[in-house]
């Protein structure tokens, strides 16, 4: 077994689409990014890559590369999982935590889990997604950004 952790932050911006864990969320703001800004899938991708000892998402899919402009982060996750499988590892379990003061993410949890599992090519029972606030503290608490953590266990 190998374990990996991923962390990512994106700044909020009015008028952008909000996509979290491959799921479009109804909201008056979104996240600035070169890609679709899916902070949750970026954290998850980094956790998976980290567990396999591969370079991080920023090195493999650089934001200076036009190929990833407005990219669907599910495609990035799919490619990362393919690289991990190539090295002989299979995702055993992943757990994602999204930190956002707003919007309320509870109605989207199952959809987000299914979308993440779909991109990873695993059964949804192998993925968990949850959301929390930071009690109005710091950059997530005042709504300047959304953060996400993820851990992933790989089986050799």
Binding stretches for Mg ion (CB under 5 A):
8, 42
Smallest gap, in angstroms, from Cβ of residue 88 to Mg ion? 27
Classify the C-alpha dihedral 52-55-61-63 as positive or negative.
Answer: positive
Smallest gap, in angstroms, from Cβ of residue 56 to Mg ion? 10
Angle between helices 73-86 and 109-120 (to 10 degrees): 40
- SS3 assignment, position 79: helix
What is the rounded distance in angstroms from the CA atom of residue 21 to the CA atom of residue 126?
A: 15
Nearer to Mg ion, 73 or 127 (CB): 73
Smallest gap, in angstroms, from Cβ of residue 152 to Mg ion? 16
What is the rounded distance in angstroms from the CA atom of residue 96 to the CA atom of residue 67?
A: 26
Nearer to Mg ion, 16 or 42 (CB): 42
Smallest gap, in angstroms, from Cβ of residue 85 to Mg ion? 22
> Whose CB is nearest to Mg ion?
42
Nearer to Mg ion, 11 or 85 (CB): 11
Nearer to Mg ion, 8 or 101 (CB): 8
Nearer to Mg ion, 42 or 74 (CB): 42
CA 20 to chain centre: 7
Phi, psi of 58 (to 5 degrees): -65, -30
Partnered with residue 24 across adjacent β-strands are 19
Smallest gap, in angstroms, from Cβ of residue 137 to Mg ion? 22
């Amino acid at each position: 077994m190998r374990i990996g952790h991923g962390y990512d932050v994106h700044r909020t911006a009015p008028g952008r689409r909000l996509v979290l864990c491959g799921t479009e969320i109804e909201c008056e703001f979104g996240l600035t990014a070169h890609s679709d800004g899916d902070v949750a899938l970026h954290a998850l991708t980094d956790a998976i890559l980290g567990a396999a000892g591969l370079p991080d998402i920023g090195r493999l899919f650089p934001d200076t590369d036009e190929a990833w402009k407005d990219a669907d982060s599910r495609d990035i996750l799919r490619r990362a999982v393919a690289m991990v499988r190539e090295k002989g590892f299979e995702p055993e379990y992943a757990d994602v935590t999204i930190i956002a003061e707003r919007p309320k993410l509870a109605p989207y949890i199952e959809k987000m889990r299914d979308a993440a599992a779909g991109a990873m090519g695993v059964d949804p029972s192998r993925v968990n997604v949850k959301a929390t606030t930071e009690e109005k503290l710091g950059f997530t608490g005042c709504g300047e950004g959304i953060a996400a953590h993820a851990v992933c266990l790989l089986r050799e």
